[in-house]
Amino acid sequence: MTTQITPGPARVHVRTTINGNAHEFLVPPYMSLLDTLREIVGLTGTKEGCLDGNCGACTVSLDGRIVDSCLVLGAEIDGKSVETVEGMATPEGLHPLQQAFLEEAALQCGICTPGFLVAAKGLLDNEPAPDEHRIRHWLAGNLCRCTGYDKIVRAVQKASAEMS
């Protein structure tokens, strides 16, 4: 029986804020932010689709900027603030985007949904009233294979109208 200690170089000490909560942990220097969130922090709402930054399923917000968490190292979030899909709803209720996705049937299998929600929030936080083309352009980094995007775009439009 081999040892249960993961081989490789020394761990990196990370202090960070995730969805408003302070976290402190050690992370292997090669581990992606995606795996760090899923395996170390225990937040599995952020999904793996491709691991090469082309599907957007792992989209998170890093200091207010949208990133593919598979292309960021866990060690890089030291001193920074991360927001994931788990941080969107408040005790008062769902974020308007989450509510609109439900009402507009903007998800089928749901695997791309966390990434779309975080990406769409990134848009509406900065541009409260984007037109349809702007929404389609902004979300082009997030792949959905189920919906044909129609109902996703409508849900973002609906949330935008409700938030403004």
Partner 1 sequence: MVATFEPKSEYKVIGTRPIRHDGLDKVTGRAIYGADIKLPSMIWGAILRSPHAHARIKSIDTSAAEAMDGVHAVVTNADLPPAENKMVDLGEGATNLKWAVDNILASDKALYAGHAVAGVAAVDRYTAEEAARAIKVEYEVLRSATNVDDTIDPDMPAILEEFVDSPGAKESGHANHVKEFTHEFGDPDAALSEADHVVEGEFSLEMVHQGYIEPHNATAVWDEDGRLKIWTSTQGAFTVRQQVAAVMQMDESKIRVTPLEIGGGFGGKIPIYLEPVAATLSKKAGNVPVKIIMERRSVFEGSGPAAGGKITLKLGATKDGKLVAADSVLRMEAGGYPGSLVGASGMCIYACYNIPNMRIVGYDVLVNKPKVAAYRAPGSPQVAFAIETLIDDLCEQAGFDKWQFRRDNAAKEGTRRGDGPIFPRIGMEEVLDAAKDTDHWNSDIGEASPGRLRGRGFASGYWFNVGLQSSVNLSLNNDGTVELVEGSTDIGGTRASIAMQTAETLGISAEDINPTVVDTDTVGFTAVTGGSRVTYATGYAAYNAAIEMIDKLKVRASRLWSIDEEDVQFEDGVFSSKSDSELSIGFKDLAGKLDDTGGPVTSTGSVDLEAAGGAYGTHICDLEVDPETGKTDVVRYTIVQDAGRAIHPSYVEGQMQGGAAQGIGWALNEEYYMSDDGVMSNSSYLDYRMPTSLDLPNIETVIVEVPNPVHPYGVRGVGEVPIVPPVPAVGNALKDAIGIRLRETPMNAGRIVDALDSENGS
Minimum distance from residue 51 beta carbon to partner 1 (Å): 6
160 binding partner 1? (CB under 8 A): no
Contact set for partner 1, span 18-47 (CB under 8 A): 28, 30-31, 35, 38, 43-47
148 binding partner 1? (CB under 8 A): yes
Spatial CB neighbours of 59, under 8 Å, sequence gap ≥ 6: 46, 66, 67, 68, 69, 114, 115, 116, 118, 119, 141, 142
130 binding partner 1? (CB under 8 A): no
Q: Which is nearer to partner 1, 6 or 164 (CB)?
A: 6
Q: Is the dihedral of CA 21, 27, 32, 36 positive or negative?
A: negative
Residue 52's alpha-carbon distances to 55, 57, 74, 116, 136, in angstroms, are 8, 11, 15, 17, 21
Minimum distance from residue 121 beta carbon to partner 1 (Å): 12
Residues that bind partner 1 (CB under 8 A): 1-8, 28, 30-31, 35, 38, 43-52, 54-55, 57, 84-86, 88-89, 94, 98, 101-105, 107-114, 117, 132, 135-137, 139-154
